[in-house]
Structure 1
C-alpha cells in the first residue's frame, strides 16, 4: 500500500510504500503538491520491474540501503537502512512484489 501524506513541517507531499505487515519499505522525496507525489507513485510502479533502476548503496557506517530511480535518473524513493546486504536485496524484492499492485491511501 502506498501512503500519501503532507508534512506539517514543510507542507510538502510524500509517499511511503508499506509491505503487507505495515513496515515501510520505501520513502519518497518531498513534492510541492499532491499530484507530484501521485506521479512519483506511478513512477515507482513503472520502474520497479527493472532491476537496473535500483541503486544499491553502502553507507559509511557499513549499513546497506537502496534508491529507485526514474527513467530520467532522478531518485524517486529511498529505503531504510539494512544491517546486511541480503536484507537490502530482500527489501528490493519486496518493492518489486508489492509496488505494482499497491493501492494509494490518502489520495
Structure 2
C-alpha cells in the first residue's frame, strides 16, 4: 500500500510526496502553507487517482515524459517525475492508481 510523506521546502511550504509500497516517489504536490491545505490535496488525489480522464501525459523539450494528475475542476493536484518513455509514464500513472486511493499519511 502506498503512503503520503510530508516534506518541508526551504521557503517553509509543505508538499506531499505519494510513495509506492517500495518507497519510490510517484507523485508530488505543489507547496502548501497549512495542514488543512495539504489534507484537502491528499483527499483530492485519493478521489481523482482512479479516473483515467484526470491524467495528462506530457512530453518535455528533450523528448522525455511526465504526467499531471488533475482535479475535476482541471487544476493540477500532482506531478510525476520524469520518465524516459511514454510507456514508462503510463506505468507511473498505473502506480498512482494502485497506491493513492488507500494511501495513509506517514508522519
Question: Is TM > 0.5 for Structure 1 vs Structure 2?
Answer: yes
- Structure 2: which 5+ runs fail to align? none
Whether 2:22 is the aligned partner of 1:18: answer no
How big is the alpha-carbon RMSD for the aligned residues of Structure 1 and Structure 2? 0.8
- Structure 1: which 5+ runs fail to align? none
1:66-99 deviation per Cα after TM superposition (whole angstroms, max 9, x unaligned): 0001111111100000001111000000000000
User: Paired residue for 1:92?
Assistant: 93
Which secondary structure state, in structure 1, belongs to the residue aligned with residue 72 of structure 2?
coil
Asked if the contact 2:57/2:86 (under 8 Å) is kept, the reply is: no
1:2-27 deviation per Cα after TM superposition (whole angstroms, max 9, x unaligned): 112322x1111100000111110000
User: Paired residue for 2:6?
Assistant: 4
Asked if the contact 1:4/1:37 (under 8 Å) is kept, the reply is: no
**TM-score normalised according to structure 2 size:** 0.94
Distance in 2 (alpha carbons) for counterparts of 1:70 and 1:43: 7
